[in-house]
């Protein structure tokens, strides 16, 4: 069968690529407006050593971002990837709760 044809009886076909690369970098979003001159200047802005729970190709793992706030994996089979930055979200929730009376759960 030619490469550009697929069987008529199957609407879903496997990915012809057997492996993929996965990369994520955690950093702050750009400011919507310029900050005032008195605003403290931050370092690199990336979140190095942040812990994350990741599911790649059906395998769950705990990982830590490198010093540049990134994580990458290669030779990943096709599938769904899920990432959760556990400590980052916990710190944000604690900061919001400490400043307001808003329940973040």
- Domain membership of residue 62 as a residue range: 20-25+43-99
In a domain, 3, yes or no: no
pLDDT at residue 48, as a whole number = 78
In a domain, 2, yes or no: no
In a domain, 69, yes or no: yes
Q: Among 61, 63, 56, which residue's Cα sits nearest to residue 80? A: 56
Q: Provide the domain count of the chain.
A: 1
In a domain, 47, yes or no: yes
**Tens digit of pLDDT per residue, the chain (105 long)?**
455 565 666 666 666 666 778 888 888 878 888 888 888 777 667 777 888 888 877 778 888 888 888 888 887 777 778 888 877 778 778 888 888 766 656
- Asked whether the beta carbons of 84 and 53 are under 8 A apart, the reply is yes
pLDDT at residue 67, as a whole number = 83
Q: Specify the length of the chain in residues.
A: 105
In a domain, 94, yes or no: yes
């Amino acid at each position: 069968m030619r490469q550009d044809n697929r069987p008529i009886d199957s609407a879903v076909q496997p990915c012809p690529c057997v492996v993929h690369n996965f990369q994520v970098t955690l950093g702050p979003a750009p400011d919507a407006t310029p900050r005032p001159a008195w605003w403290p200047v931050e370092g690199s802005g990336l979140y190095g050593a942040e812990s994350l729970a990741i599911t790649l190709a059906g395998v769950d793992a705990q990982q830590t971002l490198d010093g540049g706030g990134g994580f990458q994996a290669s030779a990943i089979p096709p599938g769904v990837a899920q990432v959760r930055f556990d400590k980052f979200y916990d710190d944000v929730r604690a900061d919001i709760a400490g400043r307001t009376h808003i329940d973040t759960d």
